[in-house]
Amino acid sequence: MLSQQQFSALSTMLKDETAVVLETGKEYLVESRLTCLMHEEGYATLSDLIDAVLLRANPSLNKKVLLALTTNETSFFRDLGAFELLKSKVIPEMLQSRASTRTLTLWSAACSAGQEPYSLAIALRESFPELASWKVKIMASDINPNMVARAARGVYSSLEVNRGLPIQLLLKHFTQQGDDYFVSSEIKSMISFFERNLIADWPPGPVDVLFMRNVLIYFDTDTKRRIFEKVKATLAPDGYLFLGTAETPYRIVEGFSKVMGASNVYQREGAGAQKKGEQPLKV
Amino acid sequence: MAKDTLIIDDCRFTTKVLSKVMEELGFQVHSARSAEEAIAFLETHEPPSLFLVDWVMPGMSGVEFVAWLREQATTAQAPVLMVTGERDMARIAEAIAIGANEYIMKPFSREAVEEKLQLLGISAGGN
């Protein structure tokens, strides 16, 4: 077991180097994340490993420990239901409705380290090979320029590719150099990355599929309303808005209908779902 | 009735962590310290709903064990999630070709286990 002093010193180091806060009470996290690394690196106890890390004598070891401790809530194909809906309903509809223009625009509006836009690109490449002859534009933005740069590099640790990425897709769409896994140039070429604050100017529409998940939760109601108005102005009339599980336009703004059977997917009121005789929930 | 899982790993700490995660997810957990011990377990028990298999172990390796599972009528289609420190993609491809269904590289998080179970369509109570 590690001592309270070791936990405190490790927390300080983690905050200094990654800005991630390891709160008191998360000792179990240290134990579960570092125990196997302790064995792999040949340390007899967790305490010995932490002592070595705090001495900062082995940069490679410290990098592994910080990577192991950094809780990254982002995963590939986060919320499988959203990607299932994309494959079973949204894109098939778009293939029909946009057959004349053969253009499709998707936007991952809070892309963080890139897992979401890469998941979109991989899903399209895997499930809709016919889109290869279309003009498909996947935009990916984040407010944090460091995250945008990171996402554009498309390089991930084993901990990150462990999260939500089917192993067959890792083998197919990534290459490996040392401990890092690189997204293939083919998948990277499908995406354009840029820095964007969602309360500032938006890219020109129309956007057919907008993934804006787990970002509204950080804003107050007025800001959410302004953002939803921007969504209305940018989303194609029959486009789809994918929100995070704790996010909704309900009681904030009118004009959106929830797609039946989907956890948190919306369309502008009067969009395609109604034309097909479905009964979306008005919010 | 809760589904059960068999963890095959010589690292008792990995077994402890994995057991805790799987129990919290509602699984009944069995464990074996080697592939040979797992085979002995299967001689007296029904195959579990899920195998969690390490690669490098004394005696029969995890991949050899997966190959063995695939040769048995009762486990030819059993879901196998490898949980191992082996991170080389060529080696991972080898494990998948032999019959592992999914793969987690150590160290891992609880969330990674949950997401891999979702990919396999396995939950403690359903499927």
B57 vs B9: CA distance, rounded Å: 7
Nearest by CB to B13, which of A39, A71, A164?
A39
Token pair 């390891």 is found at A22
For residues A245-254, b (16+ Cβ closer than 10 Å) or e, as one string?
eebbbeebbe
Token pair 């494990």 is found at B95
A-B C-beta contacts closer than 8 Å: 73
Go through chain A and tell me how many residues it has: 283
CB contact (8 A) between residue A35 and residue B13 = yes
Nearest by CB to A32, which of B17, B102, B115?
B17
| A182 pLDDT more than 70 | yes
A71 vs A232: CA distance, rounded Å: 34
Q: Find chain B residues with C-beta within 8 A of A34's C-beta.
A: 107
Q: How many helices (H) and strands (E) does chain B have?
A: 5, 5
Strand partners, A208: none
CB contact (8 A) between residue B112 and residue A163 = yes
What does the pLDDT average to over A276-282?
A: 54
CB contact (8 A) between residue A35 and residue B14 = yes
| A60 pLDDT more than 90 | no
Q: pLDDT tens digits for A1-48?
A: 778 898 999 888 887 775 466 777 778 778 878 887 888 889 999 999
Q: pLDDT tens digits for A140-180?
A: 998 878 789 999 999 999 999 999 999 999 999 999 999 99
- The pLDDT score that the predictor gives to residue A274 is 47
Enumerate chain B positions whose Cβ falls within 8 A of a Cβ in A: 11, 13-14, 17, 20, 85, 87-89, 92-93, 96, 100, 102-112, 115-116, 118-119
Continuous H helices in chain A? 4-18, 27-40, 46-55, 59-69, 80-85, 91-97, 115-127, 145-153, 158-161, 167-173, 185-188, 221-234, 272-275
Q: pLDDT tens digits for A197-245?
A: 888 889 988 999 999 998 887 778 888 999 999 999 999 999 999 999 8
- The pLDDT score that the predictor gives to residue A30 is 85
Q: Which residue of B has its CA nearest to A170?
A: B89
Compare A66 and A200 and report the one with higher pLDDT. Answer: A200
A205 vs A272: CA distance, rounded Å: 18
CA distance A159 to chain B (A): 6
Q: Which residue of B has its CA nearest to A177?
A: B88
CA distance A123 to chain B (A): 14
A258 vs A200: CA distance, rounded Å: 26
A215 vs A244: CA distance, rounded Å: 8
Cα angle vertex A110, ends A106, A116, to 5°? 60
CA distance B117 to chain A (A): 10
Strand partners, A240: A209
